């Protein structure tokens, strides 16, 4: 479960926010091209975690418990997906623009985190 949670928050921190109606959340979610452009070759910074999404499909992340690596991709529906090494499951979540350079992570109509995006790999992950 721990790695699944990390997969779910690789782009943000888990928050206790109210549910957004599912139809509205789906309308807000970026399409696959926008998600690919946002994530590819950039670093997501959330509460307590940073993750670099290499253009080759590798993701490398760090939090206070250590380093993680795996694979990332964007689904045809625009969801950002992560499969961490050693974890049998993958996590696929929607991304929506919040405020400038602030993005929300959406899972089943609920905002479950937020993050900012930094160009490139400034943390050397």
Instruction: Render pLDDT for 80-97 as a digit per residue (tens, 0 to 9).
Output: 999 999 989 999 999 988
Does the structural domain 2-119 have CATH classification 2.40.128.640?
yes
Q: Domain boundaries in the chain? A: 2-119
- Tens of pLDDT, residue by residue over 10-58, are 544 444 344 444 444 556 788 889 899 999 999 999 988 999 999 999 9
Cβ atoms of residues 115 and 45 within 8 Å = yes
User: Helix or strand or coil: residue 47?
Assistant: coil
Write down the residue that tokens 């993680």 correspond to: 68
- Whether the CB-CB separation of 19 and 112 falls below 8 Å is answered with no
Q: pTM value?
A: 0.79
Q: Are 28 and 35 in contact (CB under 8 A)?
A: no
């Amino acid at each position: 479960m721990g790695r699944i949670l990390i997969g779910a928050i690789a782009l943000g921190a888990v928050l206790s926010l109210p549910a957004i109606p599912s139809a509205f959340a789906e309308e807000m979610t970026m399409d696959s091209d926008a998600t690919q452009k946002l994530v590819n070759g950039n670093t997501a910074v959330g509460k307590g975690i940073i993750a670099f999404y290499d253009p080759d499909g590798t993701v490398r992340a760090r939090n206070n418990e250590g380093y993680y690596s795996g694979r990332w991709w964007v689904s045809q529906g625009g969801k950002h997906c992560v499969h961490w090494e050693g974890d049998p499951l993958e996590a696929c979540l929607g991304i929506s623009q919040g405020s400038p350079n602030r993005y929300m992570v959406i899972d089943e109509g609920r905002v479950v985190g937020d993050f900012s995006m930094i160009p490139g790999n400034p943390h050397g992950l």
